[in-house]
Amino acid sequence: MSKDLWVNIDQMDKEKVKIHGILSNTHRQAARVNLSFDFPFYGHFLREITVATGGFIYTGDVVHRMLTATQYIAPLMANFDPSVSRNSTVIYFDNGTALVVQWDHVHLQDNYNLGSFTFQATLHNTGRIVFAYKEIPVEVSQISSVNHPVKVGLSDAFVVVHKIQQIPNVRRRTIYEYHRVELTKTRITNSTAVEMMPLPTCLQFTSCSSCISSQINFNCSWCHRLNRFDTFIMRRVPQPTHVPFVFSLSKHLPWLFTFLVILLEFVKTMPADNSVDRTPGTHPQHTGLILGILLVMLIMVAGVLVTVYIYHHPTSAASIFLIERRPSRWPAMKFHRGAGHPAYAEVEPVGQEKEGFIESEQC
């Protein structure tokens, strides 16, 4: 079956098979490729991807020098350098319903003697993704990650733009990774393939009624103004099981209940109303304390209810507010030039500002 998943580009229309000169003759380069079809990826459509010499496809909108961090489709991400051999090429083919990208006879820049690697990534218009491997001369787990990350799998993220109040006309983009698929590296060998089928998302709904009544573990939001589901919201908000900023009930409820029990025991030890000397028409001395305790309990219960609501409604205004206002709760680390991370130079830059980025660590 793995042989059937391998696409023989040599038998395709020669005019449609493209060999990118810069990708085939340089190290750590990335080139933009326009798709002839809409490719559904994590609940949003892609019409443009970025092919990198390092054995992966970058799916982000913002092209920057640190493409290996997140938002990738990686059949075999490693420190490949097509320039070290004349036989090495990076080619791609778009037939209107699928895009095939093949890293053909590429070598590792820091270990040429290991031999050449040949593998593919195929993106189908149904969202189906196939990784096919023809020539893998060494176990993937033995490839060094000192100079370049070694990854096999998928990753997606969303971008939030922050305005810096102290500096006019300057914005800071922050990338938050919310899901990652890591495939077992030891199973990647010669003549093997990996086939990934997409789970249902809000993309499949074309009306408001079908969108809001969906039962796919997503709270699909329909936009009446655009007459479609809200792509922006679905791009930014992950599945409820991947919302790390939400208050953890299992973690915090025990101490809440303990605190409430202590308060109740304290109230029980206080004297009853008939044992307190007071004049007619006045209140017991501890009435204010009891009201304060009840107020605290009411606030706690309200907080728990709000948390439960946010947890089950990740696309609500409250959830989005917390995402934008409390990004520090997401796992992240900053990008710095010269920090030992691999830098990719984009081909044909689109003039976007080189701003501060944050790469999420593995969730």
Euclidean distance between CA atoms 295 and 302, whole angstroms = 10
Euclidean distance between CA atoms 99 and 120, whole angstroms = 10
pLDDT category of residue 126 using cuts at 50, 70 and 90 = very high
What does the pLDDT look like over 29-67, one tens digit per residue?
Answer: 888 999 999 999 988 899 999 999 999 999 988 777 677
Cβ pair 20, 94 in contact under 8 A? no
What does the pLDDT look like over 258-306, one tens digit per residue?
Answer: 666 666 666 556 555 544 444 555 555 566 677 777 788 888 888 888 7
pLDDT category of residue 228 using cuts at 50, 70 and 90 = low
HEC per residue, 97-108:
CEEEEEEEEECE
Domain ranges across the chain: 2-204+332-359, 249-313
Q: In the predicted model, is pLDDT for residue 323 greater than 80?
A: no
What does the pLDDT look like over 238-250, one tens digit per residue?
Answer: 333 333 333 334 4
Amino acid at 131: F
What does the pLDDT look like over 156-194, one tens digit per residue?
Answer: 988 777 777 667 777 777 778 888 999 999 999 999 999
How many other C-beta atoms can be found within 10 angstroms of the C-beta atom of residue 229? 26
The residues near 125 (Cβ < 8 Å, ≥ 6 apart) are 37, 38, 39, 40, 97, 98
